Amino acid sequence: MIRMKVDIVGIDQTSMLPVVILSDLKESGILPLVVGPAEASAISIQMENIKTPRPLTHDLFVASIKALHAKVLRVVVTDLIADTYHAVLVLQSDGEDVEIDARPSDCIALALRVDAPIFITETLAEKAMVNRPEDEKDEEMESFRDFLDQISPDDFKRFRSD
C-alpha cells in the first residue's frame, strides 16, 4: 500500500465538478478523484478546520464509531472499476479489524476527522496514479494552489441540498 495525503480540493476546470487530489508523501504522484459536491464540502470544511454549529453527516458517523468503542485504523482506496473508485474503511472493534465498503470521498472525509492514514493499493497506483514530471509539478501545482487560495468551502454551498 502507498500512503497518501489530501493535497487539494477544488473544481475541475473542464467538467466543473469537484475533485480531490491525493498525492503520495513524496508528492511525486497524484490520484485525482471526482467527488460529489457535499463530500467536497465535507472534506474542505475539515481541511480548513471550520467548526459548524451542528454535526455534519461525517461528524455523526465519527461520533457513532466512538460511541460503539470502535476506532478508524485507516482508509484504503482499493480499485478503479468501470470509471468508479472503490474504497474500504478499516475499523477496529472489539480487537478485530473490520473492513467496510465505502466511497473514497466518504472515507477521506472520515480519515481527516480522526487523523487516520489514507492509502491506495499498489494495483490502483499502477492503474490510475499519475506521475508528475518535476518541471510540471512546481508550476502546475503553484497555479492550482493560487486558484484554491481564492475559494472557500462557502463556494460549494450552491451544490448543497440542505
**162 residues of the chain, pLDDT tens digit each:** 999 999 989 888 888 889 999 999 988 899 999 999 999 999 999 998 888 889 889 999 999 999 999 999 999 999 999 989 999 999 999 999 999 999 999 999 999 999 999 999 999 999 998 886 565 556 666 777 776 677 766 666 655 555
pLDDT of residue 81: 92
Q: Are 42 and 20 in contact (CB under 8 A)?
A: no
Q: By CB neighbour count within 10 A (0-12 exposed, 13-18 middle, 19+ buried), where does 49 fall? A: exposed
C-alpha cell at 161: 441540498
The full set of domains in the chain, from first to last, is 2-159 (3.10.690.10)
Q: In whole angstroms, what is the distance from residue 133 CA to residue 28 CA?
A: 8
